[in-house]
């Protein structure tokens, strides 16, 4: 039996919010965020019979409370899919949604599933990262990892140590550019089409709608960023301004066999070519995208020059710059995060992977001259993940 081609048909997400009592989703349940996303996918794709969805895979890093109860299955039932549609949960920290996509893609390629919904949700206001976690003391007592490996901000400082040429000034400049690119993308109406408005409620204002990402700070300057505190180390280089925030939000997408998408009249925005995950020293987890991408490109006999668009999750500016420096790509290269990234938009952990994919799919539509694009991200506890996509609108195929 031959493996089937797998395509990304459509992706949507809620606007991302700031976590905490003043954030837009402070009184909104996590499972309601992902249910809203699934319902919107079904609404936007009326040609997809609900019973043809063969699997729902939803990621969450903290799988307790309203992110527990096997949220993939719970969200499937709550969203109105037939109870015959199974579902499951995934946890690979920041790469949860990315792993949800690659996992269901394997089932689609093998033919056990024709169409799947994959995504992620993270309500870091309700469930702070690491809530309820009890790390085995052997990690530290036996020297398996340095204590800093358990704190993501400290791993970013470690990455600055390893690559001293990546200065705080460079990190701040990258962060300011990300804010500017997101502001420009919003002004041009590029981000809004894939946002699903979310009903929200606050004690002060009552009911309203969330229609835009809450975290962006338009007008951010390098001078403003230079004055911010370095909470992870005295006189450090990592700040709230050159890092992604603590955020809430959900993402989802439809993954299908290319032949099934054609049969049902679903769009096929991009084709999954291959993917790779790699482990690195947990103390410098931000370097993870480098070996993951190297493995992927080598297996496909490609180089970074073959990649026309990069969507790199901006957990920390230093992590993106380490990736770019390794592959000798300029930080201002127009292929890199052309509409900005997580430093401005936010990074609700397990949901971010599908945000990268949805954004890449929209960028592909604008660039038929581009054949390949890459979505890549670092992952807590020392990993990296990369997914290679082919533009189905690539003019070279015509």
Pairwise CA distance, residues 268 & 273, whole Å: 13
d(CA 152, CA 159): 11
Token pair of 162 as six digits: 């390893």
Alpha-helical segments (H) within 188-247: 222-226
Residue with tokens 């799988």: 63
Which is catalytic among the residues 9, 94, 127, 253? 94
Annotation says 9 is catalytic:
no
Rg of the chain taking only CA atoms, in angstroms: 20
Asked about 378 being catalytic, the answer comes back as: yes
Catalytic entry in 123, 127, 160, 347: 347
| d(C-alpha 191, C-alpha 168), whole Å | 29
In the chain, % helix, strand, coil (3-state, to 5) comes to 40, 25, 40
d(CA 385, CA 376): 6
Q: Which of 127, 160, 253, 378 is catalytic?
A: 378
Are 346 and 249 in contact by the 8 Å Cβ rule? The answer is yes
Could you report how far apart the first and last alpha carbons of the chain are, in Å? 28
> d(Cα 203, Cα 200) in Å, to the nearest integer?
10
Nearest to 356 by CA among 377, 334, 383: 377
- Annotated active-site positions, please? 94, 347, 378
């Amino acid at each position: 039996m031959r493996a089937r081609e797998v395509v990304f048909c459509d992706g949507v997400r809620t606007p991302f919010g700031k976590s905490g009592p003043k954030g837009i989703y402070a009184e909104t349940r996590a499972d309601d965020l992902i249910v809203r996303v699934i319902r919107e996918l079904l609404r936007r794709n009326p040609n997809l019979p609900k019973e043809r969805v063969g699997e729902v895979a939803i990621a969450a890093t903290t799988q307790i409370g309203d992110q527990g109860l096997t949220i993939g299955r719970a969200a499937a039932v709550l969203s109105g899919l037939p109870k015959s549609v199974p579902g499951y949960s995934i946890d690979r920290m920041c790469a949860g949604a990315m792993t949800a996509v690659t996992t269901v893609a394997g089932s689609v390629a093998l033919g056990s599933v024709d169409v799947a919904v994959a995504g992620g949700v993270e309500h870091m206001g309700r469930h702070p990262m690491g809530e309820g976690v009890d790390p085995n003391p052997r990690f530290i007592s036996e020297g398996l990892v340095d204590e800093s490996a358990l704190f993501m901000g400290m791993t970013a400082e470690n990455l600055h140590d390893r690559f001293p040429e990546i200065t705080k000034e460079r990190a701040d400049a990258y962060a300011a550019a990300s804010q500017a690119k997101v502001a420009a993308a919003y002004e041009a109406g590029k981000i809004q089409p894939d946002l699903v408005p979310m009903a929200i409620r606050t004690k002060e204002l009552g009911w309203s709608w969330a229609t835009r990402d809450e975290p962006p700070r338009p007008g951010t300057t390098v001078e403003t960023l230079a004055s911010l505190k370095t909470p992870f180390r005295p006189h450090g280089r990592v700040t709230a301004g050159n890092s992604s925030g603590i955020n809430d939000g959900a993402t989802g997408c439809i993954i299908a066999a290319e032949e099934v998408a054609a049969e049902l009249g679903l769009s096929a925005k991009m084709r999954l070519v291959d993917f790779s995950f790699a482990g690195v020293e947990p103390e410098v987890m931000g370097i993870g995208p480098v070996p993951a991408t190297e493995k992927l490109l080598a297996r496909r006999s490609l180089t970074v020059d073959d990649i026309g668009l990069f969507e790199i999750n901006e957990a920390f500016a230093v992590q993106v710059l380490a990736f770019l420096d390794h592959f000798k790509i300029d930080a201002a290269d127009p292929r890199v995060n052309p509409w900005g990234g997580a430093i401005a938009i936010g990074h609700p952990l397990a949901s971010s992977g599908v945000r990268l994919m949805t954004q890449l799919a929209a960028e592909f539509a604008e660039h038929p001259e581009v054949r390949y694009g890459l979505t890549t991200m670092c992952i807590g506890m020392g990993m990296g993940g990369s997914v290679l996509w082919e533009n189905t609108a690539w003019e070279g195929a015509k």
